[in-house]
């Protein structure tokens, strides 16, 4: 950013940094709270006159790019600074973890994804499937760091198709950069793309010449390997909820984005210890959400207990926004982990508004696809499960529609029921903040209470 003398005068009244000319010239210290980023204003002479240059740099060992020895690992560098209202971290460093889900057929690539400047992180997942042709089909791309691209190329097969299965911003922002690493690949996107607060075209996100996914489309070039079903709801608020589910026939694998999750007891390997320990600190959020108990001021040392506490606090904030007790998260975390569920946020703010559409989508998936595992875009995967577990996760639709599935639950759901917590039950105390938010959004018209529209 270069600001010439003439422009500085115009901006002086508008910018707190450039409030006066001397301020810009004398300012040379850091002014950013962003972890790992160092911002400086420096004077610079150009043909147009004197100016000010904004310099952005990493802060070295603590930037997250360096390892514990201080050696910079540039293969994980990715500058990802997105502004309001969705600042998504990490801003400089993204480690990629690759695992093999199905031998020689399906691979999972995971990176850490943080919410802005908070200490809340989860994993974001890209799934790569090798088709019968020997080409690669990429589901929900992640940040194309040098490390990530190298791990893809190590599979020894060309990337042929890149698929964006949702409208969601957190997945959309990586499709353009990832596709530029594989310029010969075709890009396919979920229908009815939109963004907020500005409804920007796909080209703004660097996505060009994309083809649109259609429900049950057997004319796609991968139809012999993979089938698809589109959930496209009426607008429930600022836009429609759109998600495309896929079924890999050979491995009997169901791919979803945000429809269901399975919270693991321990944090994913891609989440850094720094993030976990930051979440374990008794900060402002813990003090506000402690059920009135005194919050001790104590240093957080690096050990297994504190890393686990950090993970449990992260999960509860991701699921509930404002859980009832962050100080002691164990009980609520135990109720929400190790079972297939619909995220409370998605359930409350989206699926409960369009129960008929969601029921049709799930019915069609269960009827047509005999899957034995599910791979979502977040939390644990692959999840060895069955159609009855998926139906149980959407059991809340029974109450909304006054219907009951006639199905025999799997053994895993049976034991879950014995413990007294059905898959679609969430602790009322933890749901209080989310329910209040839902009521507020409905009252101001930002979100609709219910939306009709069963597809016949």
Give the model confidence (pLDDT) of 415-442 as tens digits. Answer: 434 433 466 778 889 898 888 888 888 8
- pLDDT, one tens digit per residue, over 103-160 is 999 999 999 998 877 789 999 999 999 999 999 999 999 999 999 999 999 999 999 9
How far apart are the C-alpha atoms of 421 and 68, rounded to whole Å? 43
The verdict on 227 and 160 lying in the same domain is yes
- Between 248 and 44, the more confident residue is 248
pLDDT of residue 111: 97
Claim to verify: residue 9 and residue 93 sit in the same structural domain: no
Q: How far apart are CA 362 and CA 368, in angstroms?
A: 10
Q: Is the pLDDT at 452 greater than 60, yes or no? A: no
| Other beta carbons less than 10 A from residue 5's beta carbon | 13
36 and 185 inside one domain: no
Pair 170, 271 in one domain: yes
Q: What is the CATH number of the domain that holds 227?
A: 3.60.15.10
Q: Is residue 401 part of a domain?
A: yes
Paired residues of 235 in beta bridges: 240
Spatial contact of 411 and 389, defined as CB atoms under 8 Å apart: no
Instruction: Note whether 30 and 37 are within 8 A (CB).
Output: no
Judge if 34 and 172 occupy the same domain.
no
Pair 219, 341 in one domain: yes
Beta strands in 75-118 (DSSP E): 88-89, 97-102, 106-115
Residue 453 lies in a domain: no
Give residue-wise pLDDT tens across range 62-115.
Answer: 445 555 555 568 898 888 766 555 678 888 889 999 999 999 999 999 999 988
Higher pLDDT, 34 or 435: 435
pLDDT above 90 as % of the chain: 51
Same domain, yes or no, for 22 and 135?
no
Give pTM, 2 decimals.
0.80
Same domain as 297, residue 186 = yes
Residues 229 and 270 in one domain: yes
Same domain for 115 and 33, yes or no, is no
Take residue 293 and report the two structure tokens written for it. Answer: 């108990």
Regarding whether 183 and 277 lie in a shared domain, the answer is yes
Residues 262 and 361: their CA atoms lie apart, in Å, by 20
Domain assignment present for 424: no
* Distances 367 to 8, 69, 124, 410 between C-alpha atoms, Å: 65, 54, 29, 16
Residues 9 and 94 in one domain: no
Domain that holds residue 44: 2-58
Task: Name the pLDDT band for 61 (thresholds 50, 70, 90).
Answer: very low
The secondary element (H helix, E strand) that includes residue 6 is helix 5-11
pLDDT in tens, 404-418: 444 444 554 454 344
Structure tokens at 215: 């429900």
DSSP one-letter code for 398: H
């Amino acid at each position: 950013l270069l600001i010439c003398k003439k422009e500085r005068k115009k901006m002086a009244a508008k910018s707190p940094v450039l409030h006066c000319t001397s301020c810009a010239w004398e300012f040379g210290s850091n002014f950013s709270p962003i972890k790992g980023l160092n911002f400086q204003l420096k004077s610079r002479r150009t043909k147009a006159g004197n100016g000010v240059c904004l310099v952005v740099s990493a802060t070295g060992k603590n930037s997250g790019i360096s390892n514990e020895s201080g050696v910079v690992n540039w293969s994980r560098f990715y500058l990802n600074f997105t502004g309001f209202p969705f600042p998504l971290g990490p801003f400089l460093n993204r480690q990629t973890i690759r695992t093999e889900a199905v031998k020689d057929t399906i691979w999972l690539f995971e990176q850490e994804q943080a919410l802005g400047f908070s200490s809340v992180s989860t994993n974001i997942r890209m799934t790569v499937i090798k088709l019968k042709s020997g080409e690669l089909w990429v589901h929900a791309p992640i940040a194309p760091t040098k490390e990530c691209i190298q791990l893809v190329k190590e599979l020894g097969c060309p990337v042929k198709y890149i698929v964006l299965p949702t409208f969601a911003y957190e997945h959309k922002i990586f499709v353009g950069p990832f596709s530029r690493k594989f310029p010969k690949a075709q890009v396919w996107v979920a229908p009815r793309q939109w963004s907020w607060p500005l409804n920007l075209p796909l080209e703004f996100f660097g996505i060009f010449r994309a083809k649109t996914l259609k429900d049950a489309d057997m004319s796609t070039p991968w139809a012999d390997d993979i089938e698809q079903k589109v959930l496209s709801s009426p607008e429930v608020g600022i836009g429609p909820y759109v998600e495309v589910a896929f079924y890999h026939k050979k491995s009997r694998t169901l791919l979803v984005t945000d429809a269901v999750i399975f919270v693991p007891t321990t944090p994913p390997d891609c989440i850094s210890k720094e993030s976990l320990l930051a979440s374990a600190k008794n900060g402002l959020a813990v003090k506000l959400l402690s059920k009135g108990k005194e919050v001790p001021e104590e240093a957080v040392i690096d050990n297994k207990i504190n890393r686990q506490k950090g993970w449990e606090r992260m999960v509860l904030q991701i699921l509930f926004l404002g859980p009832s007790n962050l100080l002691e998260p164990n009980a609520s975390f135990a109720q929400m982990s190790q079972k297939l569920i619909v995220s409370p946020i998605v359930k409350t703010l989206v699926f409960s508004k369009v129960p008929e559409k969601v029921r049709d989508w799930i019915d069609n998936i269960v009827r047509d696809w005999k899957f034995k595992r599910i791979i979502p875009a977040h939390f644990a995967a692959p999840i060895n499960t069955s159609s009855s577990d998926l139906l149980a996760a959407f059991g809340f639709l029974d109450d909304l529609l006054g219907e009951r599935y006639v199905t025999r639950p799997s053994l895993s759901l049976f034991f879950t029921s014995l413990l007294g917590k059905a898959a679609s039950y969430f602790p009322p105390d933890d749901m209080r903040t989310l329910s209040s938010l839902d009521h507020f959004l409905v009252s101001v018209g930002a979100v609709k209470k219910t939306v009709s529209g069963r597809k016949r």
